[in-house]
Amino acid sequence: MGHLVPGSSVLVSGGAGGLGEAAVRRLHGAGIAVVIADLAEEKGSALADDLGGKAAFVSTDVTDTDSVAGAIQVAQDLGNLRYAVIAHGGWGVAQRVVQRDGTPADLDGFTKTLDLYLTGTYNLLRLTAVEIASGTPAEDGERGAIVMTASIAGYEGQIGQTAYAAAKAGVIGLTLAAARDLGSVGVRVNTIAPGTMKTPLMESVGEDALAKFAANIPFPRRLGEPAEYADAAAFLLANRYVNGEVMRLDGAQRFGPK
């Protein structure tokens, strides 16, 4: 039976808001010490204060090795780092490969998107994994687990989503290879691929747009709740026979072209 190991800590990137905040609250409520690794200092600090003990905000640039290492050190100070949830976001570019004016898509936008969502994810994966791998194994040899975040856009990218879809497809492709890599050191790796989730950013589009999004979801005909992402992350961290898996969390939604 899966369980989260008492006395452990988890690093959550993007933990100051949205899906990451939900994961922070869920795991802290389960008794795991939490590091909120984010650049949103005001929100992250307020969340850590709200949670009280065994929670800390660390300003973290996921693409910077020293910055991530600092967050990992704080996590180790709070408990034995056994878990990581990689859920950061905050950037997007919407461009067709050939734009309406006949010019090509901006290469800088593509590169920045990959840097954040794919390179940043890999940076966190490699640095948290090496720390988790140094811990004491359980009876079955497991030392910990990592959950990454993709998107169903990684399977069904829409018009204008080439950069985002490529980055998230990269995370999907990374999952099994990383799980195989890290099996020898007792670290599991899984990924959640959310559909349309009711994050604060998504709510900002207005009720009419939200209703339109919900109408395209077979069942339940609504947007996903961040708490449902958090439940999925907790399950993947705790269930010790799930490894190398990408879990769609989308109400059977499949993105159309636009």
Q: Tokens representing 101?
A: 């004016």
CB 58 within 8 Å of CB 71: yes
pTM greater than 0.85 (yes/no): yes
Per-residue pLDDT of the chain in tens (258 residues, 90 and over written 9)? 478 999 999 999 999 999 999 999 999 999 999 999 999 999 999 999 999 999 999 999 999 999 999 999 999 999 999 999 999 998 789 999 999 999 999 999 999 999 999 999 999 999 999 999 999 999 899 999 999 999 999 999 999 999 999 999 999 999 999 999 999 999 999 999 999 998 887 777 778 878 888 999 999 999 999 999 999 999 999 999 999 999 999 999 999 998
Q: Looking at the domain assignment, is residue 1 inside a domain? A: no
Residue 155 confidence (pLDDT): 98
Q: Looking at the domain assignment, is residue 251 inside a domain? A: no
Smallest CA-to-CA distance from 148 within 245, 68, 61, 22 is with 245
HSE, side-chain direction, 13 A CA sphere, residue 27: 37
What is the C-alpha to C-alpha distance for residues 88 and 203, in angstroms, rounded to an integer?
18
Q: Looking at the domain assignment, is residue 217 inside a domain? A: yes
Q: Looking at the domain assignment, is residue 3 inside a domain? A: no
Residue 235 confidence (pLDDT): 98
What is the C-alpha to C-alpha distance for residues 136 and 173, in angstroms, rounded to an integer?
29
Structurally, the chain folds into a number of domains equal to: 1
Q: Looking at the domain assignment, is residue 179 inside a domain? A: yes
Q: Looking at the domain assignment, is residue 254 inside a domain? A: no
Smallest CA-to-CA distance from 255 within 175, 173, 150 is with 150
Q: Looking at the domain assignment, is residue 2 inside a domain? A: no
DSSP string over 78-108: HSEEEEEEE--------B-SB-TTSPBPPHH
Return the active site residues: 164
Q: Looking at the domain assignment, is residue 140 inside a domain? A: yes
Give the domain range for residue 219: 8-242
**CATH number for 40:** 3.40.50.720
